[in-house]
Structure 1
Amino acid sequence: MSANNLFKRHISEMKQRADQLCEREGLTLIAIHAGQIKRQFLDDMEYPFKASPLFKAWCPMHNAPHCWVLVSLQRSKPVLVVLNTDEFWVEQPELDKERWLSLFHVELISRPDEIDKLLPYDKARAAYLGEHIEVAQALGFSEMNPEPLLSFLNYYRAVKTDYELHCIRRANATAIQGHRAVAEAWQQGASEFDCLLAYMQATRQGENDVPYPHIIGQNEHAAILHYRGKSKHALLPGLQRSLMIDAGADFAGYAADISRSYAGAAANDEFAELIVAIDQVCQALALEVKPGMKFETLQYRAHIQIAQLLFAFGFCKLDPEDMVKKQISHVFMPHGIGHYLGLQVHDVGGTLADPRGTQIPPPSFFPQLKTTRAFEPNMVFTIEPGLYFIEPLLSRLQDSALAHTINWNRIDQFRPYGGIRIEDNVIMHRDRNENITRELGLV
């Protein structure tokens, strides 16, 4: 099916959800605000614009400050309100090129405040969804981001339409080009910064286009889970031990989120073997997930497999199950095994038991879990096992009563490598799991 037909079906599904929500909550209008540009403090420069994910769920426009989607039971089509001015400092939306606009009733405004003319005078049964509460208040809304609406929308956002699956596959295909470029550049001696340039060149997406900041860490930097630095210093081959890259891409507002780790010229054979072992854990876990399974179960299985590696590689002498029970495995993999993926890289709905907003808190044993809900078909999620040598966590372990269970000489041999993370993006179908990242060719 063509992308246009997929989008048509997507908008139909979104309209059905909105109508159901309006009927349930007694609303006549849901006004979804894309957002507006923010100026930097004490400056006349602006931050890069990011549209609200609630707006992106309806509209794939990238340049959409001051735009709106208005949904009501009275109209069969949603209304797309677009700011189109004669402002010459910035680019204007090129609406004549968008075939999907036929699915909307389009209204153009020349100033942001003209949205008021398209809203009902009495807004008692209208709800505002968006970031800018001050705008909603100025327009006379009394219902702003009401929890019943957000819970309903977030719950159903976890289950993707065919159009959304198409977009996430396209985002993966783009990100894979970047990952391949970085692997090649780094093997040729590129610095972290030069790897970033290679990634952006291959994906044709800049730092403000991607769904999250690129993480590209050499050697000890690979132990920093959200490393933001980009060293411009190229390492000599004798110092090039490891590289961890966690980087994604965007397609029509949807995210890819992929991680890979590499052994450098100065790495020993065991570190390369450990990368292969983590890679095998990632692929095995992606196959294990079944409808009805909870993330907590997957998290436990991941920790058991990480603990088995800690034992096999001589880092800890305890039985793997004891390592997990005593939370030693938490030191080496302190994050969750994955999260939902979609309009946001850490997509919403992962802790909701139902569309009414009932929460499923993370278990006390795995408080870092971002997702506690059971898996369902058409959910998209990441699988990202890791094994790291993180100094603050190792220091706490060394000062604990469990220090004697650790081979610290062995740990010292691996500290200079920082750590390993392998991350794939997976779609759950009724009859199989589609590992998008692997099926599109990234090993």
Structure 2
Amino acid sequence: MNQHAYFAHLDRLQQATESLLADADFDGLLIGSGSSSRRFQDDYGHTYKANPNFVHWLPFLTQHPGCWLLVQPGKKPLLYFVMADDFWHVTPELPGDWWAEAFDVVAIKDTAPVTQDNLAVIVEHFPAFARDSWTHNPQALIQQLHRVRRVKSEWEHECLREANILAVQGHLRAEQGFRAGESEFQIHQGYLTAIEHNEKQLPYDNIVALNEHAAVLHYQWQDRRLPDKHRTLLIDAGAGHLGYAADITRTYAAEDGVFSDLLAAMEQAHLGTLSDMRAGISYVDLHIGMHRKIAAILQQAGIVRASVDTQLDEGVTRVFFPHGLGHLLGIQVHDVGSWQHDKLATEPKPPAAHPFLRYADMLEEGSVLTVEPGLYFIPSLLHGLRQSPVAELIDWALIESLLPFGGIRIEDNVLIKANGIENFTRDAFAAAQ
């Protein structure tokens, strides 16, 4: 573990935070690790997820609700570490590992004895011990902190690499399960075992979709029943390392044919887009460029008898590729700094024709994104296309034959560099072979 990189990461955060606090006229920043809310009419809580703003500083404390971090200019960060007198749960030990040297650590039972005035407080629920001079979740400051998170430090790059290495082990096991004829549930359980995660450690719910289920973009079940035949596996599944997420998708075909040819063509389109990526390139242009590639694939396969330009003009490709090319990745799977997190309208929005594109800015050196083109046969979207003026340009018999295969998605996690990318996902697959 690169201790130097972690301490450099903290120095970067301290300097950036001090500057932003001065600009916003705050004397300090108080960040809560968060809490787990109770289920409705129950005494059990929902699965706890730490405040990502807290994890940005303290990735070693992702399972510690009730803690607080106080950041002040010119001072060592102060960690209020909760050690409740609780016989229902294990009381954690006061941090003594190497990373704790960067903080002044104070043990608390519940309430943090914070007496400073004029603090910005970032946490879901304003604490009961808050002072009148504190400001809860000031949006202008939060938006600037989001921009700091958008460009990752060397420490964060290392965490994301490790998350990808771990997730790839699960993906390799998933393909084996598919080839062996396992159910979605069995493939999912094999994945968890391979990455040594339980359900609550996953950065998001795994999508394990056989056959036509691959046409459901966020398919939410793991069917225990075996299908009549294994045609397709689309698995969108990640792993976590010190609070950072991998988000990888692979699609497999059971046998050769039209669908496997489409899968091979999408692989080449994906690689072509990756080769175009570098700092300063418009992500919107890459997204629209992928639509052009998909239009060419549909034309060459005989699915759509129309030119690339006609398909884009008529919105045909949006039926087959309805989501965005990808998103920022980090502590959160859909990480901050892109338009959907911008409550002050400071981030560029995607084109009106592509509302689900989650990042619409230029690529920045040091940022990490997913690249996940897809080609799906979604009955509800195809129904609309069948009613459109371009319906006569579609080979509906061919589409009917492809419906049982569901669809294709291929997703890599990439670090943007000045003259290209580092592909965490492909590097991890290559090392695992």
Q: What CA distance in whole angstroms lies between the structure 2 residues aligned with 1:426 and 1:392?
A: 32
Corresponding residue pairs, total: 430
2:413 equivalent in structure 1: 425
- Tell me if structure 2 keeps the 8 A contact 1:55–1:69: yes
8 Å CA contact 1:51, 1:64 repeated in 2: yes
Shift of 1:37: 1.8
Q: 1:168 maps to which residue?
A: 160
Letter in 2 for 1:63: Q
In structure 1, give the amino acid aligned to 2:114. Answer: L
CA distance in 2, matches of 1:192, 1:94: 39
Partner of 2:252 in structure 1?
262
Residue 185 of structure 1 and its aligned partner are, at CA, apart by: 1.2
Q: Whole-Å Cα distance in 2 between the matches of residues 410 and 181 of structure 1?
A: 32
Residue 70 (structure 1) aligns with: 70
In the aligned structure 2, how far is the partner of 1:352 from the partner of 1:196?
30
- The residue that corresponds to 2:109 in the other structure is 110
Q: Distance in 1 between matches of 2:134 and 2:181?
A: 58
Distance of 2:369 and 2:311 partners within structure 1: 27
C-alpha distance in 1 between matches for 2:19 and 2:243: 25
Following superposition of structure 1 onto structure 2, how do residues 140-155 of structure 1 map, counting pairs within 5 Å?
140=132, 142-155=134-147
Does residue 439 in structure 1 map to residue 427 in structure 2? yes
> Which residue number in structure 1 is paired with residue 369 of structure 2?
381
Identity of counterpart residues, as a percentage?
35
Q: How far off is 1:98 after superposition? A: 2.4
1:185 partner SS: helix
Match of 1:253 among 235, 243, 253: 243
State how 1:218-367 maps to structure 2 within 5 Å. 218-236=210-228, 239-264=229-254, 267-351=255-339, 358-367=346-355
User: Residue in 1 aligned with 2:123?
Assistant: 130
Deviations 1:262-298 (A, max 9, x none): 112xx44221121111112222211111221111101
Rounded to whole Å, the distance in 1 between the matches of 2:354 and 2:265 is 23
Deviations 1:119-141 (A, max 9, x none): 32xx3x211101113x2685545
SS in 2 for 1:57: helix
Shift of 1:367: 1.4
Gaps of 5+ in 2: none
- Give the superposition deviation at 1:247: 0.3
Residue 365 of structure 1 and its aligned partner are, at CA, apart by 2.1
Secondary structure of the residue aligned to 1:261 is strand
Give the conservation status (yes or no) of the 8 Å contact 2:123–2:137: yes
SS at match of 2:57: coil
Tell me the residue number matched to 2:198: 206
Return the TM-score normalized by structure 2.
0.95
Question: Which residue of 2 is the match for residue 10 of structure 1?
Answer: 9
Distance 1:282-1:93 versus aligned 2 partners, 3 A rule = farther
3-state SS of the aligned residue for 1:64? coil
Q: Alpha carbons of 1:400 and 1:357: their partners in 2 closer, same or farther (altered >3 Å)?
A: closer
The 8 Å contact of residues 151 and 357 in structure 1, kept in 2 or not, is answered as no
How far apart are 1:234 and its partner, in Å? 2.2
Q: What is the CA–CA distance in structure 1 between the aligned matches of 2:181 and 2:119, rounded to whole Å? A: 58
Whole-angstrom CA distance in 1 between matches of 2:340 and 2:410: 27
Compare 139-148 and 349-358 and name the one that shifted more: 349-358
Q: Do 1:79 and 1:104's aligned partners in 2 also have CA atoms closer than 8 Å?
A: yes
What is the TM-score normalised by the length of structure 1? Answer: 0.93
Kept in 2: contact 1:380–1:427 (CA 8 A): yes
- RMSD between superposed Cα atoms in Å: 1.9
Deviations 1:183-207 (A, max 9, x none): 0011111100001100000001111
Q: After TM superposition, what 4+ stretches of structure 1 lie above 6 angstroms from structure 2?
A: 352-357
| Aligned residues of 1:381 and 1:427 also touching (Cα < 8 A) | yes
Give the 3 Å change call, closer, same or farther, for CA 325–118 of structure 1 in structure 2. Answer: same
Distance across 1 between alignment mates of 2:70 and 2:271 = 42
Counterpart secondary structure, 2:337: coil
Counterpart CA distance in 2 for 1:434 and 1:243 is: 27
Q: CA deviation at 1:87?
A: 1.2
- Secondary structure of the 2:200 match is coil
Residue identity in the other structure for 2:73: L
Alpha-carbon contact 1:84-1:110 (below 8 Å) kept: yes
CA contact (8 A) 1:148 1:357 kept: no
Q: Aligned equivalents of 1:257 and 1:107: distance in 2?
A: 36
For residue 193 of structure 2, give the secondary structure of its aligned residue in structure 1.
Answer: helix
Q: How does 1:404-423 map to 2 (within 5 A)?
A: 404-423=392-411
What's the counterpart of residue 196 of structure 1?
188
Q: 1:306 to 1:12 in 2, by over 3 A?
A: same
Letter matched to residue 9 of structure 1: A
Aligned to 1:45: 44
Name the SS for the 1:321 alignment partner: helix
Kept in 1, the 8 Å contact 2:234–2:408? The answer is yes
**C-alpha separation in 2, matches of 1:353 and 1:393:** 27
Shift of 1:362: 1.5
Q: Is the 8 A contact 2:139 2:343 kept in 1?
A: no
Q: Which amino acid aligns with 1:366?
A: H
Q: How far off is 1:355 after superposition?
A: 13
Take 2:277 and 2:128, find their aligned partners in 1: how far apart are those partners?
A: 42
Partner of 1:157: 149
Q: In the alignment, is the contact (CA less than 8 A) between 2:278 and 2:419 conserved in 1?
A: no
Displacement, 1:321? 1.9
Partner residue in 2 for 1:119: 115
Does the residue aligned with 2:252 lie in a helix, a strand or coil? Answer: strand
Output one character per residue of 1:127-157: Cα deviation in whole Å (capped at 9) or x when no partner.
1101113x26855454111111111111121
Which amino acid counterpart does residue 232 of structure 1 have in structure 2? R
* Contact kept in structure 2, 1:128 and 1:136, CA below 8 Å: no
The structural deviation recorded for 1:353 is: 12
Partner deviation per Cα, 1:201-224 (whole Å, 9 max, x = no partner): 000111111111000000110000
